[in-house]
Chains A and B, each alone.
Chain A
Amino acid sequence: MGTTGPTIEDRSSPQTATPAVELIDITKAFPGVVANDRISLAAMPGEVLCLLGENGAGKSTLMSILSGIYRPDGGRILVDGRAVNIDSPRHGRDLGIGMVYQHLSLIPTLTVLENLMMGSNPGLSLDREGARTRLGELSRQLGVSVDADARAGSLALGQQQQVEIIKALWKGSRVLILDEPTSMLTPQGITELQDVLRGLKRSGLAIIFITHKLHEAVAIGDRVAILKQGKVVGRLDPADLAAMTPDEIQSRIVAAMFGSSAAPDVADIAELRPTSGLTTTARHLSNEPLLEVVDVSADAAGGEHTLADINLEVRGGEILGVAGVDGSGQRTLAEVIAGQSRHTAGSIRLGGVTIDGLSISERQALGLRYVTDDRLGEGVVSSYPLSLNLVLKRIGQPPFWRGGRVDRAQIRRSAQESIRVFDIRTPSSETRIGKLSGGNIQKALLARELSFEPRCVVFNKPTHGLDVRTIVAVRERIRALAQDGVAIVVISNDLDELVDLSDRVAVLDSGRITGVVPAGPDAEVRIGELIVGVAAPQTVG
């Protein structure tokens, strides 16, 4: 035995490294759009490859190809230098490609261990002890501690994501793909995730990190590839990244993403320079609050926390942000204000007048509007044309209906006007709204809610899932609305967005307001502390 040489291959040394996964000329077309156009990428062991691009740039399609959900129309995939055809997600897993999706997929009523055993347990009988051992190994490797017997639904989102990562690595992955992993995390959660990824890099794993946030790509990536309209439009190798200052890197990326003439606001919004502190422009606020929520309690809508003793005031011209971990009662709060859910105690006033007893449409008529976050689920009727969706909240009202009879010409004219004013990109006003992109559906919802003299508007996650340009447009629209003296509530789990827009940010935790942070340079940190301080005490202590 004494004569045996080194048995462990040194995979991390650059001389011997072959890419863990290499994509060569991958092409995938859907009817009417080429989602991936001859994309070539390589993910090296021990490195993080950041895939950066707007919505619709082709990131998700590419990852679906890599994980075996889609089959490419052309091109080759090499795993450890060998050409493979990935037939199915199972085949992808067997090849060592682990995937963590943006939307967490743990079954909330099962324990962590049960979730991990699902799909990975060979045979009929459950091997709990084996699974427990494997969980121990992987948690040590990640440097996290996970309670195997906790119900998945009771964990904070960051911890759920850690379990997802463990699940992806369960069978010994060589590539880990994370799709927009930071989109639902608190700032502290993002820091933890970065630590975990650093640990995984050291163990020789190749990581593909998909994001649309520039500063994350710069902070985390060893390589950066920029996707635009299905093509790779820019690459930064480790040598490039080492040679440039962060500012130079960012301007290179912005130039690749938006062309060299990209407007500075686009750069800002792409998280290039996270704005420090809340921006209070010279807006005129009304003396009296326009919207008052007084001691309101309400039963939960859809698995959220129940609301307890909520007190909020918003003046005309003011933007109040509402931050918090998902499920803290944000949707219930929005629905209670809009009249979709009834509160059990307290009172809601608009312009000093109690509206507790008013129906949804009566509140709309008073100028109270609600831009829902569930755009396809409840915001629109996707089989209806755009024009009808624009008047969905005014069925039976003049000028679109007279004496109960519809005036289609009027509806079409009004739709043309909205398409122009709100820059909705659509083949025609009679196109089914379900066929439009998410950004254009959101613009249509804005057109519907912001027409006919709004006085107070509640936005729930107004830019969630939109591309950068639409995000800019939506935020501009919200600011302009405040400028016109409208009272605005913005509910979001994007802290950057809240800090960017709001005059004050209220933090909602487990159905209670735990604090209101006014404009100031350290607002982001203080909000983050409020969110984490109570939401996940185990990570603080």
Chain B
Amino acid sequence: MTSPLTSPEAVVDVAPPTTRGAGLGDALVRSLGPIALALITCGALLAIVGRDPFAFYSDILQAGLLRPSGLQDSITRMAPILLVAAGMIVAFRAGMWNLGSDGQYLLAAACVAGTAPSVLAAVPAPLGWLVLGLVGMVVGASWTIVPAWLRARYGLNEIVTTLMMSFVGSGLANLLVKGPFDGPSTVPQTAVVDPSLLLFDLPGTRIHIGVIVALIAVATIYWVFSRTSFGMRIDVLGANARAAQHVGIRVSRLIIVTFLLSGALMGLAAAVDMLGIFGYMRADWNPAYGLKVVPLVFLARLNALAVIPFAAFFSVLSIGGEYAARRAQLPSDFLLLVIGLVLTFMVVTQYLTDKRDRGEPILPRRKAGMARA
């Protein structure tokens, strides 16, 4: 029997732009089922280590969603998550596994944070944000050129090259922060941008407009893939690269364009974080969005709009979870456990629903041969 889980492509079955999947109920089972199972399992684990799972989850809800400040923090946290997710979706739908988002993000963050004080001192803030946003996008995109070119020209596996470039990029970002971009403070970090020059907040909130930028970005990506010829070319490339070649798509060029776009979105995530929340970058700082966002985009089946609720869920979990873990006297690593279990259950759910779609029973039958022997 062939396993549907042998390749990353097989895990996600990207719905073509004109089909809506097998219905809302089915989509809910596939998407929320794994989350529910992960929460139940983690609840059992909490109970085993002597914590009250209900208190833990209610703390998460309280701190991440129900308290106004928590809610606003959660929404703000969505901005970089959504932009990184958009960057991944662009690449993954082309079948290009750009796993170097951390390096692309950090390098762009270092360049944006490093140049922001002087740029924002020289020009009006809105123009400065635009320029710095572009800086982030160009730096993020440039960090994908080598893997993209190696893949397009020589067919080199981009999983390996993007990961390696990510290490190099993280190191380089630290070198920049400790070297040319080092600010006046005694700890190695860039000069701090005057808080009044950071991105506007939405009226009456602490939510900066980077969230709007991120929402526009995912909506645009969704539109590109559902409506435009450019998106369809990328989809064809991802669904069947040989067919893409056969039907006359310029595959090499498209691979490079896709990588650049993906890297640019990672860089924009960095710019939004630097200009929206932090205003500076410390050396050795790494939010490591990459590996946390990968499961989210797969849960959303590479659909840019569908990723929004998952990003929201993740934000609530991480904002509220930090508080809940502190209260329960657990290390914050416990949250990674939840995320890991979600991914695991997602794969299992996918396997079972696919099996059901093929008309096979979900539970394995007793082997007829054994029964008769």
* Chain A positions near chain B (C-beta within 8 angstroms): 31, 71, 85, 87-88, 339-340, 359-361, 364, 370, 372, 374, 377-385, 387-388, 392-393, 395-396, 401, 404-406, 408, 430, 432
Contact = CB atoms under 8 A, between A and B. Distances in A.
Contacts of A382: 240
A390 to B, nearest CB: 11
* Size band of the interface chain B makes with A: 20 to 34
Contacts of A396: 229-230, 233
Contacts of A71: 368-369
Contact of A383 (B16, B228, B245, B372): B16
Given A378-B246, A406-B229, A388 B240 contact: no
B236 interface: yes
Interface string B347-373: 000000000001100000000110010
B233 A378 contact: no
A381 B247 CA distance: 10
B232 A395 contact: yes
Given A360-B248, A385-B16, A392 B228 contact: no
B206 interface: no
B27 interface: no
Contacts of A359: 248, 250
A392 B247 contact: yes
B95 to A, nearest CB: 12
7 contacts: A372-B246, A377-B242, A378-B240, A383-B16, A395-B233, A395-B236, A404-B228
B196 interface: no
Contact of A379 (B16, B236, B246): B246
B229 A378 contact: no
A430 B13 contact: no
Contacts of A339: 248
A511 B82 CA distance: 53
A360 B244 CA distance: 11
A75 to B, nearest CB: 14
Contacts of B246: 340, 360, 370, 372, 378-379
Residue of B228, B233, B358 contacting most chain A CB atoms (<10 Å)? B228
Interface string B218-237: 00000000011110110010
B239 A401 contact: no
Nearest to A365: B248
A370 B248 CA distance: 11
Contacts of A360: 245-248
Contact of B248 (A85, A361, A430): A361
Nearest to B232: A395
Contacts of B369: 71, 85, 87-88
Contacts of B230: 396, 404
B209 interface: no
Nearest to B360: A31
Contact of B19 (A31, A381, A405, A430): A430
Contact of A384 (B16, B245, B368): B16
B247 A393 contact: yes
B195 to A, nearest CB: 41
Contacts of B245: 340, 360, 378
A395 B229 contact: yes
A381 B229 contact: no
For the complex of A and B, list the 10 residue pairs with the smallest distance between their C-beta atoms, beginning with the closest: A396-B229, A361-B248, A360-B248, A31-B359, A87-B369, A378-B242, A378-B246, A393-B247, A381-B239, A392-B247
Contacts of B232: 388, 395, 406
A99 B162 CA distance: 47
Contacts of A340: 245-246
B39 interface: no
B229 A401 contact: yes
Contacts of A364: 248
A398 B339 CA distance: 46
B163 to A, nearest CB: 28
Contacts of A381: 16, 236, 239-240, 243
A343 B179 CA distance: 52
B254 to A, nearest CB: 11
Contact of A430 (B18, B227, B358): B18
B249 interface: yes
Contacts of B236: 381, 384, 392, 395
Contacts of B42: none
A302 B87 CA distance: 34
Contacts of B325: none
A404 B369 CA distance: 57
B176 interface: no
B328 interface: no
Nearest to B236: A381
A432 B19 CA distance: 9
A377 B244 CA distance: 11
Contacts of B19: 385, 430, 432
Nearest to A338: B246
Contacts of A405: 227-229
B257 interface: no
A340 B249 CA distance: 10
A404 B359 CA distance: 39
A336 to B, nearest CB: 14
A152 B175 CA distance: 57
A387 B248 contact: no
B13 A383 contact: yes
B14 interface: yes
A388 B228 contact: no
Contacts of A432: 19
Contacts of B372: 85
Given A340-B246, A364-B248, A377-B242, 15 more contacts: A31-B358, A361-B248, A377-B240, A378-B240, A378-B242, A378-B243, A379-B246, A384-B236, A385-B16, A385-B19, A387-B18, A388-B18, A393-B247, A396-B229, A405-B227
Nearest to A68: B369
A522 B13 CA distance: 53
A34 to B, nearest CB: 14
A396 B52 CA distance: 57
Nearest to B226: A406
Interface in B56-102: none
B228 A406 contact: yes
Nearest to A389: B243
Contacts of A370: 246
Given A340-B245, A360-B248, A395-B247, A404 B18 contact: no
B227 A379 contact: no
A468 to B, nearest CB: 28
A428 to B, nearest CB: 11
A113 B236 CA distance: 44
Contacts of B247: 360-361, 392-393, 395
Residue of B227, B247, B369 contacting most chain A CB atoms (<10 Å)? B247
